[in-house]
Structure 1
Amino acid sequence: MRVFYIDPFLKYDFGHYFEAALAIKDFFRNQKKLTQCLVGNVGISEKARKFIGAMVPFVRQTCFQDLENKGKSFAEDLVNLSKKFSFTEKDLLFIPAAYENQILGVAEFINHRKSQKKAVPKIALQFHQIYPPTKESDDVMKAEFRGGWEKRLEKAFSLIKNSQVSLWSTEAILLNQKLARLSQGKVGILPVPFIFPKKVSPQIPKHKITIGFIGDGRQEKGLSLFLRIIPALTERKANLNFVIQNLSPRGFSDHQENEFANLLKMAAGFKNVKIINGALSPERYNKLLCEIDIVVLPYNPQNYCQRASGILMQASIYQKPMIVSRGTWMEKAIMGKRASGLIFEYADSSSKTSENLLASLEVMVDNLGRYRQLAKSNSGYYRENCNSSQLIKTLIRHYEKK
């Protein structure tokens, strides 16, 4: 079997999608029965291409780019890939970052294959969210916005009723259930693969505790909430350092953007605050994660009730206790003992929400030894499941049963 890993987001030398591609490449190095081809974005950076090695830069649009394209660009990409590689029904095309354009593109590609009287290859699409990113991420709170996109996805799914096509989600159960309802079919669950050390060094107590916020700066991830409590937490606890990654802040209203800029400027004035602007290579990112004692994930439950977090999975593997918000997938991961940490409540006002976050952080700082031990005890699940072997074997088993 040939496995084609087709990722529209494989463009830069950082982030979860780049790390997942590295993990896939690493897995196939030791495979003899399976042949793998990595297909990325045509605009992949030279640095990323050099780092990842052999791959085919082919896909012209990222997952959420030009949502009014109706899948035409992706369909053309698949048709041209088929001409290049002569797809057969035995081949597996895995698209790890799919949305409406990928659904519609696959539907058009299947129709093209049938018109040419050619067999359809196996096609697996994985979805990470129901609603697309917008200029203001609070759009997800509007019923009209949610309903409109659910109808569009439902219509798109109705066009790919083919036994060779399989649909998959992350382990976010509400996401899985919503996709199953919209597609009126079975939706499987696939892990998110990472590269991580075989052994995690034990946590050594330090005089200073480092609290960190890492990942990209979408508004719904709550960095403004975290920045707001730094003065009070610093005043109450003298043994704290803060590390903040400021990566591509977006999704803000004009008011929120101005507030965020002021909060970031304020935080930068504290001697115990380190701000890292921009992206980190996987090596630097993992090194930073090792140095952090407490990971803060103050994500908005309106956005993250149906979305998983790769950062939580990685932090759990690295045995890091976390602060997460109630009503999110992250809360379910902690309650299910797949990670360790404390849960704080989002309130009606941002000031009250910040107070709740502050209170939870104080409790964790005062009891860090206990939460470190819990994090160590709960670190096994994602270590065992977030790997390429599990992902590929799950896909192959699915098609072998047919």
Structure 2
Amino acid sequence: MAENRKKRYFFVDQSLIMYSGHCYEYFKPLKDIVEARGEKAILIGNLAAEKQLIEETGTIPLLTYWCDERNVGQPLGLSTKENYDAIRASHEYALARDLSKLNQMFDISSNDMIIINTIKHWGIRGVVDWVESLPSEKRPFVTMIFHFTGLPEPNLYDHAIDHYRDAFARIEGSVTSKNFYLLADSEQLVAEYEELTSLNIDLAPIPHTISHVASSNPIAGAPLRIGYSGEARIHKGFHLLPFVARFMEKRPPSRPVEFHLHAYCLNPRAEFFQTAMAQLEQCRNVVLYKEIMGPESYRNFIGTIDVFLIPYALSNYYRQTSGIYTEAIALGKPAVVSRGTWMASQLKRHGGGRECIADDHMSLLLAVRDVVENYDALRAEALEIQKSWLKFHQPGVLLSMIDHAAIKVENRKFHEMSV
């Protein structure tokens, strides 16, 4: 009988394609805890998952669309709203079908835990459709973790906000609503969603704090290592880095610095990337890392960074979190972040870094120089923040929240049956 099976955890992510990004890093510490308890943990990724990821992690390639895939074969000539609705319909159908395949592969039961990460407004109702299609005694407990705002540009309307409202209404009106646990990973996102629904949405800890990474201290007399990690993207400020590096090469601060930049770009032909790389490759104070980093090389890389550069655009990040910032704080390292972002709100609350104006190379330069000149004090602040940060932002905390939410549902079901 399905009810007598051992609990299984299915970690599902439409964007789990390669090591780049934080999709695998998000799930890995959760998977490690589950397996250490003697329970089964299964990674479910995109159909396009790379061979290396599949072979090294056991990821099962299953999901049709990337979480924000917008080329789904919809007809041309649609209005913006019609286009949005057509994309949503394709995502919903595909995700419900993909999860039905998951059921066929594993015979999903009510003991199973489905944890879906990085899901967007496009596919949420498809998950509800799938759960409703199952017999009541086979419906799993489904956790959805939201990371995306429905209003990517501050104060500008986007049809995504209506899709989120529709999705929450679909859950709320479903006979399976008690099978869902909803989380968002920033206070700003929780507040946004709570304006759209009466459903409870909890604040999620960010699990990939990698507190086990060996965090180095600057070597006396050696240059401070100024680091940029993650994929090179224009909305993450990669194009600003050449100016900062070249200026500090010509006019060095009182303390020597060296820039260690993860320079992998998904589209290496992008003009911003080619322009930036042509300049960075001429800088003697820059070390470039041009390949995707696997988990071990990534941990080694960030463990040696002294100052993290996170000069992201306000779009999305005024409410969305940054995994890089989370890792910087977990390592007790100062960071430079863009004013008005979620990261800046954390900086104002805790300290441990400096702000710059988004998409402003001179502001970024001044902030970096300020951190370098005041490094020892800011490093001490960051180490203090680290202690409180890790009390909440830990994989064990997130997994406990999910487990407790599932137990509450089971207890409620038992109570209703006994009555």
TM-score past 0.5 threshold: yes
Which residues in structure 2 correspond to 1:125-274 (within 5 Å)?
125-131=144-150, 140=153, 143=156, 146-161=157-172, 162-170=177-185, 172-194=186-208, 195-197=210-212, 200-237=215-252, 239-248=256-265, 258-274=271-287
Q: TM-score, normalised by structure 1?
A: 0.86
Alpha-carbon offset, residue 395 of structure 1: 0.7
Q: Helix, strand or coil for the counterpart of 1:43?
A: coil
Distance 1:311 1:153 in 2: 26
Unpaired stretches in structure 2, ≥5 consecutive residues: 1-6, 73-86, 410-419
Q: 352, 377, 385: which one pairs with 1:378?
A: 385
Distance 1:231 1:6 in 2: 43
Q: 60, 65, 87: which one pairs with 2:64?
A: 60
Do the aligned residues in 2 keep the contact of 1:71 with 1:100 (CA within 8 Å)? no
Alpha-carbon offset, residue 304 of structure 1: 0.8
Q: 67, 71, 74: which one pairs with 2:92?
A: 71
Percent identity among equivalent residues? Answer: 22
Q: Helix, strand or coil for the counterpart of 1:80?
A: helix
Tell me the amino acid that sits aligned with residue 62 of structure 2: F
- 1:135 paired residue number: none
- 1:104 paired residue number: 125
- CA deviation map 1:186-229 (0-9, x unaligned): 21122232244265444433431221111112322112223222
Tell me the amino acid that sits aligned with residue 393 of structure 1: S
Q: Helix, strand or coil for the counterpart of 2:312?
A: coil
Moved more, 10-19 or 192-201: 192-201
Tell me the amino acid that sits aligned with residue 109 of structure 2: T
Aligned residues: 379
Alpha-carbon offset, residue 119 of structure 1: 4.4
Which residues in structure 2 correspond to 1:42-57 (within 5 Å)?
42-53=47-58, 55-57=59-61
Q: Helix, strand or coil for the counterpart of 1:314?
A: helix
- 1:342 paired residue number: 354
Do the aligned residues in 2 keep the contact of 1:210 with 1:293 (CA within 8 Å)? yes
Change (3 A) 1:47 1:382: farther
Q: TM-score, normalised by structure 2?
A: 0.82
Distance 1:198 1:24 in 2: 16
Alpha-carbon offset, residue 92 of structure 1: 1.8
Distance 2:200 2:226 in 1: 41
Change (3 A) 1:196 1:44: farther
User: How large is the Cα RMSD of the aligned pairs?
Assistant: 2.6
Alpha-carbon offset, residue 385 of structure 1: 3.4
Tell me the amino acid that sits aligned with residue 30 of structure 1: A
- 2:116 paired residue number: 95
- 2:303 paired residue number: 290
- 2:294 paired residue number: 281
- CA deviation map 1:233-285 (0-9, x unaligned): 222216221122223266x9x9xx54553233122211111222231112111
Do the aligned residues in 1 keep the contact of 2:217 with 2:306 (CA within 8 Å)? no
Distance 1:399 1:101 in 2: 25
- 2:417 paired residue number: none
Q: Helix, strand or coil for the counterpart of 2:315?
A: helix
Distance 2:146 2:251 in 1: 43
Asked if 1:299 corresponds to 2:316, the answer is no
Tell me the amino acid that sits aligned with residue 26 of structure 2: A
Q: Helix, strand or coil for the counterpart of 1:100?
A: coil
Q: 355, 367, 373: which one pairs with 2:374?
A: 367
Do the aligned residues in 2 keep the contact of 1:220 with 1:303 (CA within 8 Å)? no
Change (3 A) 1:283 1:117: closer
Change (3 A) 1:119 1:26: closer
Distance 1:40 1:148 in 2: 27
